Chain A
Amino acid sequence: MEYGKEEKTTNLAFSKVVTSRLGGETISLCYQCGTCASSCPVAKITERFNPREVIKLSLLGEKNEVISGDAIWLCCSCYNCQERCPQKVEIADVIYALRNIALEEGYIPNIYSEFASALLNDGRIVKVSKFVENKRSVLGLPPLQPTGVDALRKILSATGFDKLQQKEEESE
């Protein structure tokens, strides 16, 4: 009985965490009909990702399984599931919220660390190099200016993003 109570609290705790996130608000509306899974191009070709399963595990409080696994990173954000969900669960946005939680707990695919570093250095995810600048001028395209990285760093710091990034670099 005691055990059951404790379980219930934990479960509720994780779905509350997801619900409190921007984008995660609608997760608890899910009634597990599976429209998302049958609309998902990725689920069609691999068992490694199934949106219904990700939502179910999250609602059941299986936090570790959700945030440490690779499933949440395999969503292609095509928004088919979200468009068709009869309960208006914003599934793709819920998955973004789960990814944010995963990152805060130290789980992140390398490519996203690379995006984040490029952003901190150049303000864009593709490095702004002399080579490409020259290529643009040969092609007759107007030059691009640097992104005002100093300004960006100030906002990054305000959102707490730079701290997240430092944590990532330390853990590598």
Chain B
Amino acid sequence: MTEVRYLLFLGCVIPYRITSYEISTRKVAEKLGMELVEMPDFNCCGLPIDSVSHDMMLALAARNLCLAEQQNLNIMTLCPGCGGTLLKVNEKLKHDKVLKQKVNGYLKEIGLEFKGTIKVKHIVQVLLEDVGFEKIKETIQRPLTSLKVAEHEGCHVLRPKKYLGFDDPEDPMVFKKLIELTGAECLDYEDETACCGAPIIGVNDMIPLQLTREKLVHIREVGAQAVITVCPFCHMMFDINQPRIERVFNEKFGIPALHYTQLLGLAMGISPDELALDQLRVKASKVLEVLSLTQKATPLQK
């Protein structure tokens, strides 16, 4: 088997606010024999700044790419926003000489130069192309056969297809297959590929809350016991914001949102505590009940 070695790009939000995604990823990666190399001095991927200054976004993304080039390692991101941005800028700079010259002009100030020698992938693409379904299957110790879930993959894992291209944005299959490898049933629901609205939280809160509420309604309709995500921002909409949605729309959902890496970890036989399930705002107690698992109080809660 070829070695799966990646530079782990955490982005701004995960290492501080959504550590459950990082913790569960590290656990799962270990079981899959992936080597994740730390990237301690990365900066913002650039995406949040694209609205403010496109040039600044390019420079920020390019600096991260150069750091990876220096180590001669490909980047794996957990956030599809970071992944999409770094991937797009990487491809643009590889193919557009004029743009490359311009961005290298900025980078020259700090002694860096973009060369175009590495690749960028989101974790879903890494699991599909580098780890492979067979390897994942081998690590399953406790198939989650009694569990019914819904998927919410997130827009930037699929679109723009021009850059990502490993799945069909209108009828995506990869993420569902990854979920089914855990033994859980992945249910279809209405408007499955619809956006959760997260990127405009802070500019306007009601629109995202309403978009996620509609998704929760559709997910509840089919009887899913949890929604599975691979994006910290989508996760925030479904998890941290779910009580707010329940208040605003005066409606009870109680649907836990698990990171895919948590779901996979449970199927690998890793304990809920080790996968930081206690960090979820919407408690996953019913999911654990279905799976006949229990969760201890963690040191942080004591």
Contacts and interface: CB of A to CB of B under 8 A. Distances in A.
Given A103-B52, A112-B52, A148 B59 contact: no
A126 interface: yes
Interface in B8-65: 10, 12-13, 15-17, 19, 22-23, 26, 38, 40-44, 48-56, 58-60, 63
A159 B56 contact: yes
Interface size classification for chain B: 35 or more
A139 B19 contact: yes
Given A155-B106, A159-B55, A141 B15 contact: yes
B200 interface: yes
Interface in A91-133: 96-97, 99-100, 103, 108-109, 111-112, 115-116, 119, 123-126, 128, 132
Interface residues of A, number: 61
Contact of A159 (B13, B53, B193, B195): B53
B159 A78 contact: yes
Contact of A96 (B26, B42, B51, B300): B51
B159 A100 contact: no
Contacts of A112: 48, 51-52
Nearest to B204: A74
B203 A109 contact: yes
A81 to B, nearest CB: 10
Interface stretch (A1-9, A10-18, A38-46, A55-63): A38-46
A76 B197 contact: yes
B23 A141 contact: yes
A1 to B, nearest CB: 39
A141 B59 contact: no
Interface string B193-223: 1110111101110011011000000000000
B155 interface: yes
Nearest to B198: A76
A145 B52 contact: no
B15 A144 contact: yes
Interface string A31-72: 000000000011001100000000000000000000000100
Nearest to B193: A80
B161 interface: yes
Interface string B155-182: 1100111000000011000000000000
Interface of A: 21-23, 41-42, 45-46, 70, 73-80, 82-83, 90, 96-97, 99-100, 103, 108-109, 111-112, 115-116, 119, 123-126, 128, 132, 135-136, 138-148, 151-152, 154-161, 164
25 contacts: A41-B194, A41-B197, A73-B200, A76-B195, A77-B199, A79-B160, A79-B169, A80-B195, A100-B51, A103-B52, A103-B53, A108-B52, A111-B203, A115-B48, A115-B52, A119-B49, A132-B15, A135-B16, A136-B16, A138-B299, A143-B40, A144-B15, A152-B63, A154-B110, A164-B53
Given A79-B155, A82-B159, A97-B54, 9 more contacts: A41-B195, A42-B200, A45-B210, A124-B43, A125-B12, A139-B300, A154-B110, A156-B56, A164-B53
